Structure 1
Amino acid sequence: MRRLLIADDHPLFRAALRQAANESVGDCEVTEAADLAGALEALAADPDIDLVLLDLHMPGSQGLSGLATLRGQHPGVAVLVVSAHDEPRTVRRALDHGAAGFIPKSASPHDIAQAIGNVLDCGTWLPADLARSIAALPADPADVDLAARLARLTEQQYRVLALLGQGLLNKQIADRLTIQERTVKAHVTAIFEKLGVRNRTQAGVLLRSLDIGESARL
C-alpha cells in the first residue's frame, strides 16, 4: 500500500489533496500535518512514507526552508511542492532543491491526481505552461551550490543546523535532540566545514537565502 503525507495548514485543501490521492492511487494510506513539525513527526513515525505533498508556506516553514529540511532529514522521500506561489523562478528553485514536481494550488483535481501518480512512479511533474517557462529558465548557480552543500550533511547534522538557525545554543540543541553537548559541538564543526562557513551567523545567512520573500506567504 502506498503511503502519502499531506503537509498543508489549510484543512479544505488537505481534503482536496486527499481526494485526488485516492483517485490517483486508489487504496493508499494518507497522513496529514498542519505544520512542518507535524510533518517531521509523521516521517519519523513512518519512514516508509513514499511521497510528501508539501505547502511552501505553513507554520514552521518559510519559503524553501521546509523543502530543504525534509530533503535534508529524509532524503529518500519524494516531495511534491504544492503552492499558490507559482512564479517560474520559485518553481525553478524548488526543483533545484530537490522537489520532484510542483503543483499550483489552482491546479485541477485531474492534474493533481496525475502529478501524484507520476511521482509515485518515480517520475516528475509540472503543469505544461510552467514546464515551458522553466525550460528556458537556467538554474541559479547559488541555489545549485547551496543544495549541493546541504546535501553533504547527515540527517542529524541537518537537524542541528535547523536548530542553529533558530538561534539555539549548543546546550539547548543537545536537550532538544537528547544528545550530549560535546556531540553537538562535533556536529557544528562538521556543519561549518561542509557548508564552507566560519560561524553561526554565516550559517544563518545560508538558511535565510531559502526564503522566497514576503510575497510568497500564501
Structure 2
Amino acid sequence: MNKFAEIAPQSRIRSVAIVDDHPLYSDALAAALSLVFPQCKVERSQTLSAAIKLVEGGFSPDLVMFDLKLPDVSGISGFQRMRAALPDTPILVISSLTSVQVVHALMEEGAAGYLPKDASAQVLRAALQDIGAGRKSLPPGYRPTAAQPEDPCQFSMQHPRLAELTPQQRRIMRLICAGKPNKQIAYELSLAEATVKAHITALLRRLGVKNRTQAAVLIEGAQGAAGATADDADAQAFLSH
C-alpha cells in the first residue's frame, strides 16, 4: 500500500469530497486517499443533495470523487449540478458505467477524469497523479468516439426519431456532431445565428433530448445500433435523462 505515497508532495490536492452511496467503496477510497495525500481532509456524502449542502456550508474541496449513480440523481444531471456548484474544482467521475459514450459525454461536460469502479489500485494512483498535477485522466485504452459520417441522410436510416428531422436540421445535426459552435454552423450554412438556434431548439425537441451532447450521443448510438451491447443500451438510457 505504500506505493500510493510515491505521488509528488507538491500536489495541489489538500481536501477531497467523496460522493458515493456505497459505504464500503467510499471507505476504500478514503483509505487510499489517506495514503496518497496524508495531510488531506476527506469529507464523504452518500447523496448529491448532501454533497451540495456540504459545499454550501463552506467546504471547498480541491477534488471531488463522484459516483454517477446516486439515490437522488437521474442520468448525467447529477454531475452537471455538482459541476455547477464547484465550477473550478476538478471532478473525477467513478462509475460502473464504462461505455465510451458515457465517458465522452462526461469529458465534454467538463469532468477532470473518469475511472471505472473495477479499476485497480495502480489505475487509481495514476488517475490521482494526473489530476493532482492538473492533467486530465482517462481509463486505460479509452479512445474518443469516431468521427461522424459526412452524409446527414444516413441519420434517417438508423433511428425513427432521426427520420423526422428536416433536411436543414439534418445538416445542422451533422455539424453539431462535428463539434461546430452555433456561430460556425451559421457561417457554413449561410444562416443567421438566431435561425440556427431556432433549428437546434426544434431538433432537440423532436429528438426528445435536452442538449447538444445528448443529441450527439443519440446519433452515435444510432450509427452503432447494429452492434449494440447491453452496456451501450445502459449508457443510452442513462444519458437520455
Give the drift of 1:143.
11
Cα separation, 1, equivalents of 2:20 and 2:121: 16
1:35-82: per-residue Cα shift (whole Å, max 9, x none)?
Answer: 100111112223421111000111122221111111122201110000
Query: Residue 53 of structure 1 aligns with which residue?
Result: 65
- Quick check: 1:56–1:64 contact (8 Å CA) kept in 2? yes
Give the drift of 1:32.
0.3
Query: Residue 164 of structure 1 aligns with which residue?
Result: none
Match of 1:13 among 25, 49, 52: 25
Is 1:99–2:111 an aligned residue pair? yes
- Quick check: 2:63–2:89 contact (8 Å CA) kept in 1? yes
Match of 2:89 among 77, 84, 91: 77
- Quick check: 1:52–1:79 contact (8 Å CA) kept in 2? yes
User: Structure 1, unaligned stretches of length 5 or more?
Assistant: 149-192
Cα separation, 1, equivalents of 2:179 and 2:28: 33
- Quick check: 2:21–2:45 contact (8 Å CA) kept in 1? yes
User: Considering only CA atoms, is the larger Rg found in Structure 1 or Structure 2?
Assistant: 2
Query: Residue 74 of structure 2 aligns with which residue?
Result: 62
The SS at the match of 1:122 is coil
Q: Rate the CA distance shift 1:25–1:137 in 2: closer, same or farther, 3 A.
A: farther
- Quick check: 1:21–1:113 contact (8 Å CA) kept in 2? no
The letter for the 2-side match of 1:10 is: H
* Number of residues of Structure 1 aligned to a counterpart in Structure 2: 163
- Quick check: 1:84–1:106 contact (8 Å CA) kept in 2? yes
Query: Residue 206 of structure 1 aligns with which residue?
Result: 210
Give the drift of 1:145.
8.3
Cα separation, 2, equivalents of 1:138 and 1:54: 29
Give the drift of 1:22.
1.6
- Quick check: 1:25–1:117 contact (8 Å CA) kept in 2? no
- 1:114-125 alignment runs, 5 A limit: 114-125=126-137
Cα separation, 1, equivalents of 2:35 and 2:50: 25
TM-score, reference length from structure 1: 0.63
TM-score, reference length from structure 2: 0.57
Is 1:135–2:150 an aligned residue pair? no
- Quick check: 2:48–2:73 contact (8 Å CA) kept in 1? yes
Match of 1:44 among 52, 56, 59: 56
The letter for the 1-side match of 2:210 is: L
Q: Say which structure, 1 or 2, has more relative contact order (CA 8 Å, 6+ apart).
A: 1
Query: Residue 181 of structure 1 aligns with which residue?
Result: none
Identity between Structure 1 and Structure 2 (%): 27
When the two chains are superposed, the root-mean-square deviation of aligned CA atoms in Å is 3.4
